[in-house]
Structure 1
Amino acid sequence: MAEDDFRDWERELHQDAQEEGGSGSRALVLVAAITAAGCVALIVLGDVPLGAAGLVVSSIILLLWRMGM
């Protein structure tokens, strides 16, 4: 009987993780696209160092976000 209870509990945890992963992935892609577009706009407008720095910093932030930190 204890095994069945554990399996039910484990199944509930996996369902929550799957539901959160779907919306989190879409948000991550949206934020990455907006950030990249802003940095490219800065580069096109002539502020290359600021645009490049923005791309580097945003890449680090998105990497840490993806890792769950």
Structure 2
Amino acid sequence: MAMKYSWFHHHDCSTPQADELMAKYRKRGVRVQRSLNPDYITWTVSAQLVEDEKPPRPDSRWRNRMWG
């Protein structure tokens, strides 16, 4: 079965934030794009990430054992 990919967007990033995000995604081997927003100051960084079939499980640290 082929893996399904979709784009995740980080909106309104400053130039240093966008550079850092792009470096981190590229280090993981993720396809990433950066586009300048209409205000000509901030960036939108888009990363093509793998979609999972199942939703994430809630963290068991926050579940009260008394309630099950």
Larger Rg: 1 or 2? 1
- Give the TM-score, by structure 1 length: 0.33
The structure with the largest helix share of the pair is 1
